[in-house]
Amino acid sequence: MRSRAVQRFEEFLSREIMIEYKACLYFACILFFYFAWLLWRGSFLAQILFMFEMILAAYAAGYVQVCLFHNSDEAERLEKADVAGILFCTLLYGGTSWCLAWFDRSPAATALFLAYMLFVHYCVYLLNKVKRAVDTRNLNRMLNEFKGGGGKEKTQERNGQEKGPTQALKRGDEDK
């Protein structure tokens, strides 16, 4: 039996991995928008300080999503609390971009960024939903194989590995 400390550490680690996933994902999306905005303005130079601020904002929003809004972008269905979490994080990104002048405090660029981040959050929600459905299907298939007593033999058949002489006979590969 696991100790309480090990269990708490595993829960902590799982939460931190989820935050890392969110931070990297949203940072990449923010960075894409920032680069597109710079290119639209005709600039090929990005501010490294802005990128540092963007990753910090993405981590902060990740902690907010996971700790306060219980993974709002990973909900099975979007409820009011999930929408509130998505809106809060979007406004957090928008407010941070305005305060730190990522887009030169342009109202149009900030509004477009807010709309983009709402779209990104919705896409992440949809992608997480599809991922869960695929994972559920795979787990159910594996559970059915396990219940059927197939275990290792079923896995070998699925992977095209031979079980023994009877497998060769079924395929018609017997030696003559």
Residue 75 pLDDT class (50, 70, 90 cuts): confident
Number of Cβ within 10 Å of residue 19's Cβ equals: 21
Please tell me the pTM assigned to this model.
0.78
Contact 23, 62 (CB under 8 A): yes
Report the candidate in 94, 92, 84, 83 with the shortest Cα–Cα distance to residue 116: 94
3-state SS of 111-166 is HHHHHHHHHHHHHHHHHHHHHHHHHHHHHHHHHHHHHCCCHHHHHHHHCCCCCCHH
Total residues belonging to the chain: 176
Torsion of CA 62, 64, 69, 75, to 10 degrees: -10
pLDDT in tens, 118-132: 999 999 999 999 999
> Would residue 48 be called left, alpha or beta, if left means φ above 0 and alpha means ψ between -120 and 50 degrees?
alpha
pLDDT in tens, 44-59: 999 999 999 999 999 9
Domain spans, the chain: 4-150
